[in-house]
């Protein structure tokens, strides 16, 4: 489970060699980082200068983030708690697949300063509570958190600190695409952060595949079916779905995607066909193809059906044209 959690949240620990990059371990800041009033005062004092929290952007860090997220098309990026940092602007410029960046922060003053220094038509600035992002489920390919969660963890009330951190990360993950990444840049121990939220995400990361049945088809009759590949951050499997109510194979896929939209899985239909299910004979025949999705690998479908209907006498498939015409 820990491996899955680490896949969901990529945490980059920064070792500081230069004192002019302020760290969240700085004792003068520790008790105030979680307070809006502190940051409002800070941005008022530094109203004309951008400020880099933790670390500035460089090519080596860009490569590190690219390698950590190499399986994802980073088209839409969100920077949470950006302050007046230009880190994500430079990161976006270094990523060929990055089409649009949204910088979010509670401070209007910080965002206006960033806006004044940007002439890009593909960067937007949004004032919001970054613990409760005002975006739809699954929108972003990549979310950058450079020190934002650090500030939540500095809340002096430990119980409140842990709960608001858990709620915030939960909210951020909800806004990610199924295969998206939340990148956290911190100067603290990543293992402490991951272990602290592991129990909360147990339902999210543990039973993803277990909760998706391998086979779900009508109890009897002749109907369309599709073979679907389902992929999580940990593994992948095939599942079979077939129903007489479906006018088109695509209707079955739409229903499956709707039923699993809150799970962090990628869904791909790899073909279709038809099923003749005769429970009175304890028999299933898989045959045919889908005009839209092509011919499924019926052999895979049959193996899954055999597991589901272990007491059946005959579960077979055919690609023979004569068989297709006669049934």
Residues that constitute the known binding site:
224
First and final C-alpha spacing in the chain: 47
Distance CA 267, CA 188 (A): 35
With CA atoms as reference, report the closest residue to 168 among 191, 196, 208, 126. 196
Is the separation of the CB atoms in 209 and 263 below 8 Å? no
On the CB side of 149, CA atoms within 13 Å amount to: 34
Helix (H, G, I), strand (E, B) or coil at 220: coil
What residues form DSSP beta bridges with 225? Answer: 242, 273
Q: Which of 89, 249, 277, 298 is catalytic?
A: 249
With CA atoms as reference, report the closest residue to 156 among 11, 13, 29. 29
Return the DSSP state at 138. T
Burial 180-197 (b: 16+ CB within 10 A, else e): bbbbbbbbbeeeebbeeb
Which helix (DSSP H) or strand (DSSP E) does residue 163 occupy? Answer: helix 158-174
Binding-site members for substrate are 224
State the angle between helix axes of 190-197 and 158-174 in degrees (0 to 180), rounded to the nearest 10: 80
Distance CA 111, CA 127 (A): 7
Name the token pair of 206: 């543990």
Q: What is the largest CA-CA distance in the chain?
A: 82
Verify whether residue 249 is a known catalytic residue: yes
Q: Where in the sequence numbering do the catalytic residues fall?
A: 249
């Amino acid at each position: 489970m820990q491996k899955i959690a680490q896949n969901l949240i990529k945490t980059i620990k920064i070792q500081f060699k230069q004192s002019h990059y302020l760290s969240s371990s700085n004792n003068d800041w520790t008790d105030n980082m979680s307070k809006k009033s502190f940051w409002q005062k800070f941005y008022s004092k530094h109203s004309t200068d951008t400020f880099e929290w933790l670390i500035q952007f460089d090519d080596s860090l860009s490569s590190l983030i690219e390698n950590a997220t190499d399986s994802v098309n980073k088209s839409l990026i969100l920077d949470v708690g950006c302050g007046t940092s230009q880190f994500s602007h430079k990161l976006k410029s270094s990523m060929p697949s990055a089409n649009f960046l949204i910088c979010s922060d509670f401070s209007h003053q910080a965002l206006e300063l960033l806006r004044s220094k940007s002439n890009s038509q593909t960067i937007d600035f949004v004032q919001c509570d970054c613990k409760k992002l005002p975006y739809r489920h699954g929108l972003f390919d990549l979310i950058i958190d450079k020190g934002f969660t650090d500030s939540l963890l500095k809340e002096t009330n430990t119980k409140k600190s842990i709960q608001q951190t858990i709620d915030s990360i939960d909210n951020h993950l909800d806004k990610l695409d199924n295969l998206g990444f939340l990148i956290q840049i911190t100067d603290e121990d990543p293992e402490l952060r991951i272990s602290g939220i592991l129990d909360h995400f147990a339902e999210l990361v543990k039973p993803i595949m277990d909760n998706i049945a391998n086979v779900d088809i009508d109890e009897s009759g002749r109907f369309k079916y599709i073979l679907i590949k389902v992929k999580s951050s940990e593994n992948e499997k095939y599942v079979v779905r077939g129903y007489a109510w479906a006018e088109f194979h695509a209707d079955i896929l739409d229903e499956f995607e709707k039923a699993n939209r809150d799970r962090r899985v990628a869904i791909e239909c790899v073909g279709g066909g038809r099923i003749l299910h005769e429970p009175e004979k304890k028999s299933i025949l898989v045959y045919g193809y889908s005009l839209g999705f092509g011919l499924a690998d019926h052999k895979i479908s049959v193996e899954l059906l055999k597991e589901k209907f272990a007491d059946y006498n005959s579960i077979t498939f055919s690609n023979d044209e004569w068989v297709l015409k006669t049934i």
